[in-house]
Amino acid sequence: MPALHPSLSSVTQVSCTDRELAAAFAEWHRRWVEEPKRFTSEAEALATPGQTYGESCAAYLLNILVEQAAPPALPQLPAP
C-alpha cells in the first residue's frame, strides 16, 4: 500500500483539471469495487476524530489526486 500523503490536512485549495478529477473519482470507485480492504484501510487511516463524512471523503480523494500527480517510480537497477 502506498504511503498516505502526510500534509493533506493542511490543503486548503486544490487545482486540477476536470480530467484529473474524473480520474481520481474513477480510481476511488475502482478501489471501492476491486480492493475494498485497501479502500477501507486507507480511508480509515486518513480520517481524524471530529471530521464530517465530507471532510474524510475529501481527504481520501485528495490523497488519490496526490498519488496520481506523483511521477512514476524509476525501476531499480541491479547492483553492479
Mean pLDDT for all residues in the chain: 82
Provide the Cα torsion 5, 26, 45, 51; round to 10°. 100
64 phi and psi, to 5 degrees?
-65, -40
Contacts of residue 62, Cβ cutoff 8 Å, sequence gap at least 6 = 5, 8, 11, 14
Report the pLDDT value the prediction gives residue 31, as an integer from 0 to 100.
94
Q: Which helix (H) or strand (E) holds 10?
A: none
pLDDT in tens, 18-53: 999 999 999 999 999 999 999 998 888 888 888 888
- The pLDDT > 90 percentage for the chain reads 31
CA-closest candidate to residue 70, choices 20, 10, 18, 31: 20
